[in-house]
Amino acid sequence: MGRMHASGRGSSGSTRPFIDTAPEWSNTDKSAIEELILELARKGHTTAEIGLILRDQHAVPNVRLVLGERVGQVLARNEISPSIPEDLMNLMRKALRMLDHLNENRKDLHNRRQLELIESRIRRLSRYLKETGALDSEWSYKRDQLRLAVN
């Protein structure tokens, strides 16, 4: 996949091998894994962090192979999913860090441009999330209210 705001074509990387069943050595107790997911979500972990914890501490290399659905789908089914999706929240945190940096370094023109690009990514993603129904249709990105939305 090409880059969003540059002329490069991206970097190559490894791909996950195609398998349709969980390995024999992995934890395949569906109810226990689902309870772990719900418990970790209640503690405030994101879906990515939940996947890492399950992989590293509970021998579940891929939740989808065991449960048949992703971590986010399990949370949505149990009505624990956050109001703002994780990918949008990560972009908003990045924009907030750049705003803090630019308040201290006002002449940093390169980062000012990067902030504009991140904000355009936020607007583009929010438009998509509104169309799919994952985000409230009244939600809008406002730079002055960013700190309240992230915290």
Domain parsing of the chain, residue ranges:
30-77, 86-150
Cα separation, 129 vs 121, whole angstroms: 12
Per the CB < 8 A criterion, the answer to whether 22 and 62 are in contact is: yes
Tell me which residue of 86, 25, 15, 20 sits closest to 58, measured CA to CA.
Answer: 25
Q: What is the average per-residue pLDDT within 23-39?
A: 90
Residue 143 has pLDDT above 80, yes or no: yes
Q: What is the average per-residue pLDDT within 88-113?
A: 94
Place of tokens 């990918």: 87
Tell me which residue of 58, 57, 54 sits closest to 70, measured CA to CA.
Answer: 54
> Half-sphere exposure (CA, 13 Å, Cβ side) for 82?
18
- Please give the pLDDT value at position 147: 83
Cα separation, 14 vs 112, whole angstroms: 33
The domain covering 86-150 belongs, at the CATH homologous superfamily level, to S15/NS1, RNA-binding (1.10.287.10)
* pLDDT tens string 46-74: 999 999 999 999 989 889 999 999 999 99
Query: ∠ CA 91-110-96 to the nearest 5 degrees?
Result: 30
* pLDDT tens string 16-29: 788 888 888 888 88
Tell me which residue of 102, 110, 113 sits closest to 146, measured CA to CA.
Answer: 102
Per the CB < 8 A criterion, the answer to whether 102 and 118 are in contact is: no
- Please give the pLDDT value at position 1: 41
Which structure tokens are listed for 74? Answer: 């399990």
